[in-house]
Amino acid sequence: MLSEFEIIRRFFTHPTDPASGVVLGVGDDAALVKPTAGMELAISTDMLVADRHFFADTDPYKLGHKSLAVNLSDMAAMGAKPRWITLALALPEPLVEIKGKWLEAFASGLFGLARVHQIELIGGDIVRGPLTICIQIIGEVPKGKALRRSDAKLGDDIWVSGQLGNAALALAHERQHIFLEPEEVAECSSALHMPMAQVKLGQSLIGLARSAIDISDGLLADLGHILEYSKVAAVIKIKNINCSMAMKKRLPESRAMRCLLAGGDDYELCFTAPKGRRTRIDALSRELGILLTRIGKISEGDGLVVLDMAGKIITSLGVRGYDHFCP
Ligand code: ADP
Ligand code: MG
């Protein structure tokens, strides 16, 4: 059986890049990092528990990737550049006993995505226990410029990146609640297993967007947080929300609507911006090759009005946030 020390040395210790700002990495009682002048630190933690947030037999490579991606999405939502992570793991004995195969795949998924964003793993903890993955991420954002939930203003456009509902659709297929053709699985399953998080978009929205949030619990719940914190209301149109062909083909309208509004696990950004910035946002969309769609407007009062495909107000969807049985 591998000891804690061997696990850290074999799987989680890498030479650090001199440009990474790491003064002292894995090995001491604490890591030391040097923040960039003029920047504030953005710090966030996400915990994933087996059988609650993922199936215990999930491919460990994909799990390593996704554990980091969900944290990156929080940085994206603040407009922060992710820089450093710590990793706390609770591992059941069998996973350690299989000669580190699980750990090797997990680390390779995690570091694969970390390299894409030049993020350094600077510390962590390992304990024996039911499989749990807890990543803390530290990013940097220009002083006073972070994108908050609380800054949406009356008249702002509401924008969403990418397509919504694909992760929920892929999950429904895996649970055999619906059937997808192989090419449709290909279209949707990366949203569920290998999400990328809109890191570059988030940073580019500084100075353009007024408020932002990542859509991890579904559009209704997450846009709801912006409305609550900004003390405003909104009207959105379902027909403006972008979704996959698979969604259009495989789900009747009412179920597709629930999936788009409350599917969860989308890791796209929802942001608001003044009308005068439409041209610049459309240009950014082309420059980054990321779909950015205007789905509605910030209005007076409180609450969220959703208009269906025919433009009629939806009075009850029966869901708010993340719903495992969405479709
Ligand atoms: P301590 O007893 O001081 O808490 P540990 O033995 O838990 O130290 O860890 C030793 C070093 O290894 C520390 O620098 C810690 O941050 C690092 N470390 C522990 N677990 C991990 C991990 N999963 N990934 C990266 N570094 C880790
Ligand atoms: Mg420790």
Residue 324's pLDDT is: 36
Contact 139, 41 (CB under 8 A): yes
Min mean pLDDT across 36-45, 192-201, 285-294, 298-307 is at: 298-307
Centre of ligand 2 to C-alpha 13, Å, is: 15
Report CA dihedral (213, 40, 121, 205) to the nearest 10 degrees: 40
Residues written for the chain = 327
Of residues 56 and 117, more confidence is placed in: 117
Tell how far the Cα of 258 is from the centroid of ligand 2, in angstroms. Answer: 43
Q: Would you say residue 46 has pLDDT above 60?
A: yes
Average pLDDT over residues 14-35: 93
Q: How far is the CA of 123 from the centre of ligand 1 (A)?
A: 5
Half-sphere exposure of 219 toward its Cβ, with a 13 Å CA cutoff?
Answer: 32
Cα–Cα distance measured from residue 262 to residue 264, given in angstroms and rounded to the nearest whole number: 6
User: Whose alpha carbon is nearest atom 8 of ligand 1?
Assistant: 29
Express the helix, strand and coil content of the chain in percent, nearest 5 each.
40, 25, 35
The whole-chain average pLDDT of the chain stands at 91
Tens-place pLDDT, residues 177-221 = 999 999 999 889 999 889 999 999 999 999 999 999 999 999 999
Q: Is the CB of 243 under 6 A from ligand 1?
A: no
pLDDT > 90: percent of the chain: 73
In tens, the pLDDT along 284-297 reads: 999 999 999 999 99
Of 37, 4, 3, which Cα lies nearest the Cα of 21?
Answer: 37
327 lines ligand 1 (CB under 6 A): no
Q: Which of 26, 67, 121, 137 to mutate to test the pocket of ligand 1 (most atoms within 8 A of CB)?
A: 26
Q: For residues 22-50, give the mean pLDDT.
A: 96
27 Cα–ligand 1 center, Å: 6
Can you tell me the distance from the alpha carbon of 172 to that of 194, in angstroms, rounded to the nearest whole number? 16
What is the per-residue pLDDT across 212-256, written as a single tens digit (0 to 9) for each? 999 999 999 999 999 999 999 999 999 999 999 899 888 888 888
- Residue 285: φ, ψ to 5°: -60, -45
pLDDT of residue 326: 45
Question: How does pLDDT run across 120-174, given as a tens digit for each residue?
Answer: 999 999 998 999 999 999 999 999 999 999 999 999 999 999 999 999 999 999 9
- Other C-beta atoms lying within 10 Å of the C-beta of residue 39: 16
Q: What is the structure's pLDDT at 97? A: 63
Mean pLDDT of 66-79: 97
Query: Is the Cβ–Cβ distance between 262 and 326 less than 8 Å?
Result: yes
- The 10 Å Cβ neighbour count of residue 183 is 9
Query: Which pLDDT does position 320 carry in this prediction?
Result: 47
Q: What band does 309 get if pLDDT is binned at 50, 70 and 90?
A: confident
